Amino acid sequence: MDISSTEKNQLTKKDLRKVMWRHYQLLGSFNYERQMSLGYAWTMTPVIKKLYGDDPDKLSEGFQRHLEFFNCSTSTTPMILGISCAMEEQNANIEGFDETSINSVKSALMGPLAGIGDSLFWGTLRVIAVGVAAPLSIKGSILGPILYFLINVIPSELLRWGGFKITYEGGSKFLTKITEDGTLQKLTEAAKIFGLVVIGA
């Protein structure tokens, strides 16, 4: 049975789950030139193959987009991944979609979300969790690892999965609206100008 273009260009829950399971390997291939770019491209692979698998040129362009510089806290990266998935889906379905906006949005979000993720999880919850759990663990109490998971790991997982779901679902509807009224183009240009200002500074 033939699959319609709409079905082929529509991401399923299975596709999105693949992205989320892969995101745990974001730091599996870190480099000093583009930081987490390889991990991000690997994470987005199920989406790129699903949306552009029948078009070698678009498939290559999709991978190239996500091999650009990327660096963010792993706990908050799923929020950016959700928006990237929504934007790639829009790009595959809307003729004339501005592909450069995908990386512009990533660049605009990774700095603020890195600050939130690093300060909240690495600088606060992790320290509190270790401070509470370590003394109990040294005494042989099972409460040590349990409290560590409750204080640090569980909140991180809730943010990862919940943030991804919210940004993907909200991103699809939001992006459709701002694409149609021209707001996305304006935001893309603003992000580019901001980037030039930061580099110049």
C-alpha triplet 155, 158, 159: angle, nearest 5°: 85
pLDDT at residue number 109: 84
Determine the Cα–Cα distance for residues 11 and 31; give it in Å rounded to an integer.
Answer: 30
Contact, 60 vs 48, CB < 8 A? no
Tens of pLDDT, residue by residue over 38-74, are 999 999 999 999 999 889 999 999 999 999 999 999 9
Residue with tokens 């991804």: 164
pLDDT at residue number 19: 96
Provide the pLDDT confidence category of residue 195 given band limits of 50, 70 and 90: very low
Tens of pLDDT, residue by residue over 75-129, are 999 999 999 999 999 899 888 888 888 988 888 888 888 888 888 888 888 889 9
Determine the Cα–Cα distance for residues 28 and 64; give it in Å rounded to an integer.
Answer: 19
Please indicate, yes or no, whether the overall pTM of this predicted structure exceeds 0.85.
Answer: no
pLDDT at residue number 149: 93
Q: Centre a 10 Å sphere on the Cβ of residue 173 and count the other Cβ atoms it contains.
A: 10
Contact, 192 vs 98, CB < 8 A? no
C-alpha triplet 98, 58, 82: angle, nearest 5°: 60
pLDDT at residue number 2: 35
Q: Is the sign of the CA dihedral 28, 50, 63, 86 positive or negative?
A: negative
Contact, 94 vs 179, CB < 8 A? yes
Tens of pLDDT, residue by residue over 16-46, are 999 999 999 998 888 888 999 999 999 999 9
